[in-house]
Amino acid sequence: MTIPSSPTTYLLAPLAGYTDLPFRMACRRFGLVYAHTPLIDAGALVYGNRDNPLILARGPEEPWLATQVLGSQPENLRKAGAMLNVMDFDVIDFNMGCPMKKVVNRAAGAALLNNPELALACVQVLRDVVTKPLTVKMRILDVDDPGPTVAFCQRLHACGVDGIAIHGRIATKIYSGPVAAKIIKAVRDSLPASFPITANGGIFSYDDAERLRLASGCDRLMIARGAIGNPWLFRDLLAGTPSTPIDHAEICEVMHEHISGMVALYGETGAMILGRKTVLSYLCGRGYRRALRAQASTIATKADFDALFAAVEKEGPIGLPGEAVTQD
């Protein structure tokens, strides 16, 4: 397909458990250029976790790929940064935005925003060893007062980072509530126009993206949960068009290709376990029967997937898009 040009740059966020190679390839099919691997823990990288190669796998034809490192121990980050620096990535990103309990309980992710001196020390050790562009993904610090977020971002800029992505919610809200675009705009206005600021949060459609672009003043937008089960979102974003119902045959084709890519990467057993939520994400909200969607949670073998896929392909949606979700 011909990918239209767009004045806005769209980036796929790093999503643990999702934005692996098969997920990215599904999105790239519809125009995605700028993508991140799932986040990787600095300690896991340093100590050789067996899943590292799967998390960091890059396809031979991927045009641009960043990886995101997570951690709060400067020495581990120093070692991990040096390791990632010699790998095939275009950018190294540092996570200061993950709000999940298992992360913040280790003083990592968004928890670093409560300890700015440690956060900046972590950024500095990465800046010392990473010769590639180094960026930071973070959350706002206050929903009403832009001052704390602006001041912290100015300190990040002084550390020599090459860009900042800002999720417009405080960490305790996780993914709920409105996105405080005005706080992101205050950061955008406080730093040089040439310094990249990326706005993140709440983009599930082209209209969502336009609202955030205009309110934040950012021409770089990051897509996260909106791409799960919906790689077509990038087609809409790049074409500048509202979302339209996806043809049943195309849903089946893309889902099958996605799961096949997972089998190639993880092997049958791993792919089927990880693929349950992937299959469900393609079926939810598109009019497929609840009974079919329920089968996705029990897939254990490729034969199980093939049987479900055959049933989905034959039956197709029986309701209007969105009906199956609202009935649950």
Residues of the chain predicted below pLDDT 50 = 1-3, 322-328
CA 28 to CA 50: how far, in whole Å?
Answer: 27
How far from each other are the two terminal CA atoms of the chain, in whole angstroms? Answer: 36
Q: What is the pLDDT of residue 7?
A: 81
Q: What is the pLDDT of residue 42?
A: 97
Catalytic positions, written as ranges: 98
Cβ-contact 320, 285 below 8 angstroms: no
Interior/surface letters 27-40, b for 16+ CB within 10 angstroms, e for the rest = bbbbbbbbbbbbbb
Question: DSSP code of 133?
Answer: -
- Quick: pLDDT tens for 229-243: 999 999 999 999 988
Query: Of 60, 48, 69, which Cα lies nearest the Cα of 21?
Result: 60
Cβ-proximal residues to 238 (8 Å cutoff; 6+ apart), any chain: 3, 4, 5, 6, 10, 30, 31
Its pTM stands at: 0.93
H runs (alpha helix) in 168-322: 181-190, 206-216, 233-239, 248-283, 290-296, 302-315
Crossing angle of helices 116-129 and 147-159, rounded to 10°: 30
Q: What are phi and psi of 210, to 5 degrees?
A: -65, -40
- Quick: pLDDT tens for 267-326: 999 999 999 999 999 999 999 999 999 999 999 999 999 999 999 999 999 865 544 333
